[in-house]
Structure 1
Amino acid sequence: MASTPRLILAGLSGGSGKTIVSLGLCRALLQAGHTPRPFKKGPDYIDAAWLGLAARAECSNLDPFLLPAETQLSLFAGKAQGFDLALIEGNRGLFDGKDVAGSCSTAELARLLAAPVVLVMDCTKMTRTAAAVVAGCRNFESGLNLAGVVLNRTAGERHRRILREAIETYTDVPVLGMLPKMAENPIPERHMGLVSDQEHVDREAALDQLGRLAAGWLDLERILGVARRAPELPVSATPLWPETPPSDGPVIGYVQDAALWFYYPENLEALERAGARLVRLSLLDSAPWPEIHGLYLGGGFPETQAEGLSANAAIRDHVRALAEAGLPIYAECGGFMYLCRALEMHGRTYPLAGVFDLTTTLCPKPQGLGYVEALVELDNPFHPAGAVLRGHEFHYSACLATTAADSSAFALRMTRGQGLFQGRDGLVRNNVFAGYTHIHALGERHWAPRFVTAAQDYRRRPR
């Protein structure tokens, strides 16, 4: 059984302010001497990175689409152990899922975790109607514990008084705090959500500011009381990870810099649990790389670092040479973009690694967004033919069609989502796999062992 105090911060929609409230609450609780452990519901790297910084504790993602229920419970219990509060930030609206039944919604996760829900509401130009909204959410689905509400973007004392009186008169849901409108968001947004924590000039000052805001306007003790009333959770006795492998496994490099840094921590942990020794690398630094037997290129923002990536010809050439030599390389989204011949953006062309004879271009609107499902039609080092992958995509870049001869082929046929080109994804060439699909290692348990096996085979090959 798991007994960590916990709560879910949810919103009525994206943009309600739940991320700012979550960040502020994590930092305020930390400053008050507590040890919050953050989680992010859904496929997300940016909010999760900020939550980890705010709480000074690694953030894990929980997702009903990517992970089986038993896996989510085991992951939650293991990562929350030793902390005095687990704070889970929801995504989109509380009841929004992948279909009309609300499958994979924040509400579904709340029921699975038996977690009380605190609803963050944008109250701009709203008074008594707020009570109707709260009452509707309170009664919309059975089995949901709507334990409180935080009112965001309130306009003044009179506005706050009417909101509180209306909600407390017409519902039994307590108001746990009311935040004023902020003159300026200390963490600005851009095309994929909050600005990357890698690029923010003063992250700690911004988070401290949000912590002071939360401490001044939220009832921290009542919020802690809500979390502490969460019941014990039954947790599977099945281990989340296999037995610890030998420590002399192959070396797998992963790029983590300002260009590429989208990694679920469990993906890296899964590689280590499968026997790999991990080494952190950069595509922006011209320093020579150590010997590696595999390479993992996550997603990120290569478009913001296009000039630096292109200028670093030595590393571009090195990555291309490794690919030609048969090094197992797994690339997701931004990593795929880097492996292409070039990136077109704002009227300029930036040469990149050239592993694939393709060009990507940055578009003003998303070209792929949401959950994906794909059938593996071509065997490759990472995914067996016949497997069905579940993942997600979120990219503003698009792959330009090319008539150039290329020995690569598509491994994935999309049954849900856009993919790379005409419903296909997962380009395979030599031992390279690259596409727009992101996966979670605990949902696709074959991935890490196969990656490590491929790296071990490469290590043993005479060169």
Structure 2
Amino acid sequence: MATTSPPRFILAGLSGGAGKTICTLGLCRALARADHAVAPFKKGPDYIDAVWLGLAAGRPATNLDPFFLDPETLRALFLDRARGQDVAVVEGNRGLFDGLDREGSCSTAALARTLDAPVVLVMDCTKMTRTAAAVLQGVAGFEPGLRLGGVILNRTAGHRHREILRESIEHHTGIPVLGTLPKLDPDPIPERHMGLISNREHGGQEEILDGLARVLADNVDLARILDLARAAPALSAPQKPLWPEPAASAGVTIGYVRDAALWFYYEENLEALRRAGAALVELSLLDPAPWPEIHGLYLGGGFPETMAGPLAANVAVRERVRALALGGLPVYAECGGFMYLARSLTWEGRSWPMAGVFDVDTEVCPRPSGLGYVRAEVVRENPFHPLGALLPGHEFHYSRCAAPVPDNLPFALAMRRGHGMHGGHDGLVRANTFAGYAHIHALAAPWWAPRFVAAARARRDGA
């Protein structure tokens, strides 16, 4: 069996908020500035961190999600995206062993075993010295098969604090200390209700990333980290191809919105549409300019609430989208895209008109209305998902359908796991439009792209 050995490592933390994202961004940019070709990855469904990682590395990041993809497909996707690069850097999520259940399924540690990748632990050392050694000793021995390659000590208070930490850890555990980082105050990238602020809303990202690179280069042993990555063992080549053979051109164009309001897309979803035979064109809901002829429309997630005023003011595009949807154009909308297709969006006490394809209103709440992975059964005919299929996805939304919610809404999904839109259901259907809170991954729903392209072809042909 053929093997390959891309240099790789995973950045993990003991919990969310340990500083692994800032550390990963700084490492990616520092390695890229040192003329290393960096392949960035984000474990889990996070869109925002992935975009920042892509900016830091100078190459789009890929999400690796053990909930969506089986181990062989994860390895195939990883090897495909890491091919030809000098080093692959994977940012974990939450705590290293935190998963869906008491066994830690879908955890960062589980992904590390799938990729046979060494782990570099980012440890918040606020008000801690020798106890850090005890914690690391527990981490190192907690699960068999974990390659704990070293630790980066974050939020250290000064020279004496760092020396006690380093001596205690290396004496008691033998785990290499690969770096010690000072406290960064204020946080260089502010957060809000869905994590880091979007790069589309935060100016000066290049200066921020270059500053993080300097901090990491000055305080972390990049050479030792590269040596650790290069020592990762060979991975077996996957038994099956990642993608089916590309289809011949279907002669259809599918538009997808990418602007300051909607921009959450897995690149694999766009690639799947292309491989199914579609040409893609990027569109905006904020620009009043005419659109080219399209045979389908994909509205991803994002933050429509932050752009509610400009979205509402662009009456021509709202009316265009409504007319296309009600006229039978295949439209697929996820989360923020669904919010745009509702009648109105309320945020911070003000209500804004949206496209009005569905007779529901949405409102943004102070706490999450749906958060986590979902599984849903397809219970209504629609162009995109076959009846009876079990659809994996994820949801992360602070908005909800505002009361009163109409009775007998045409839902296509019955939630088996997750919150959904209303009453344990998700996925509203009208004409050839499907809109819901669940985000999907094309490799976990291989029927989605071919069915989308087939619906677009039928639209083109007037069927």
CA deviation after TM superposition for structure 1 residue 88, in Å:
0.4
Aligned to 2:28: 26
Q: In the TM superposition, what whole-angstrom CA distance separates every residue of 1:162-216 from its partner, at most 9, and x where no partner exists?
A: 1001101110210000100012222111111110011111111110000101100
Aligned to 1:194: 196
Secondary structure of 1:200 counterpart: coil
Aligned to 2:309: 307
Structure 1 segment 382-421 matched on structure 2, within 5 A: 382-402=384-404, 409-421=410-422
1:440 aligns with 2:441: yes
Equivalent position amino acid for 1:423 in 2? G
CA deviation after TM superposition for structure 1 residue 70, in Å:
1.4
Aligned to 1:297: 299
On the 8 A contact 2:250/2:453 being kept in 1, the answer is no
How far apart, CA to CA, are the structure 2 residues paired with 1:364 and 1:302?
16
1:224 is aligned, of 226, 242, 265, to: 226
Structure 1 segment 275-424 matched on structure 2, within 5 A: 275-402=277-404, 409-424=410-425
How far apart, CA to CA, are the structure 1 residues paired with 2:425 and 2:43?
27
Secondary structure of 2:236 counterpart: coil
CA deviation after TM superposition for structure 1 residue 395, in Å:
0.5
Structure 1 segment 8-407 matched on structure 2, within 5 A: 8-402=10-404
How far apart, CA to CA, are the structure 2 residues paired with 1:308 and 1:452?
31
Aligned to 2:429: 428
On the 8 A contact 2:12/2:120 being kept in 1, the answer is yes
How far apart, CA to CA, are the structure 1 residues paired with 2:109 and 2:405?
47
Gaps of 5+ in 2: none
How has the CA–CA distance of structure 1 residues 75 and 367 changed in structure 2, closer, same or farther, with 3 Å as cutoff?
same
On the 8 A contact 2:368/2:396 being kept in 1, the answer is yes
Aligned-residue sequence identity (percent) comes to: 65
Equivalent position amino acid for 1:435 in 2? G
Equivalent position amino acid for 2:338 in 1? F
On the 8 A contact 2:43/2:91 being kept in 1, the answer is yes
How far apart, CA to CA, are the structure 1 residues paired with 2:120 and 2:406?
54
How far apart, CA to CA, are the structure 1 residues paired with 2:340 and 2:268?
23
CA deviation after TM superposition for structure 1 residue 405, in Å:
7.5
Equivalent position amino acid for 1:58 in 2? P
Runs of 4+ displaced beyond 6 Å? none
CA deviation after TM superposition for structure 1 residue 346, in Å:
1.5
How far apart, CA to CA, are the structure 1 residues paired with 2:271 and 2:386?
21
Please give the TM-score of this superposition, normalised by the length of structure 2: 0.98
Aligned to 1:450: 451
Equivalent position amino acid for 1:416 in 2? R
Q: How many residues align?
A: 461
On the 8 A contact 2:360/2:405 being kept in 1, the answer is no
Equivalent position amino acid for 2:432 in 1? N
On the 8 A contact 2:250/2:457 being kept in 1, the answer is no
CA deviation after TM superposition for structure 1 residue 378, in Å:
1.0
CA deviation after TM superposition for structure 1 residue 338, in Å:
0.3
Please give the TM-score of this superposition, normalised by the length of structure 1: 0.98
Secondary structure of 1:223 counterpart: helix
How far apart, CA to CA, are the structure 1 residues paired with 2:176 and 2:92?
19
How far apart, CA to CA, are the structure 2 residues paired with 1:154 and 1:249?
58
- RMSD between superposed Cα atoms in Å: 1.1
On the 8 A contact 2:37/2:87 being kept in 1, the answer is yes
Secondary structure of 1:261 counterpart: strand
Gaps of 5+ in 1: none
Which deviates the most, 141-150 or 230-239? Answer: 230-239
Q: In the TM superposition, what whole-angstrom CA distance separates every residue of 1:222-260 from its partner, at most 9, and x where no partner exists?
A: 000110110010121422122232235310000000000
Secondary structure of 2:235 counterpart: coil
Equivalent position amino acid for 1:38 in 2? P
How far apart, CA to CA, are the structure 2 residues paired with 1:256 and 1:236?
33
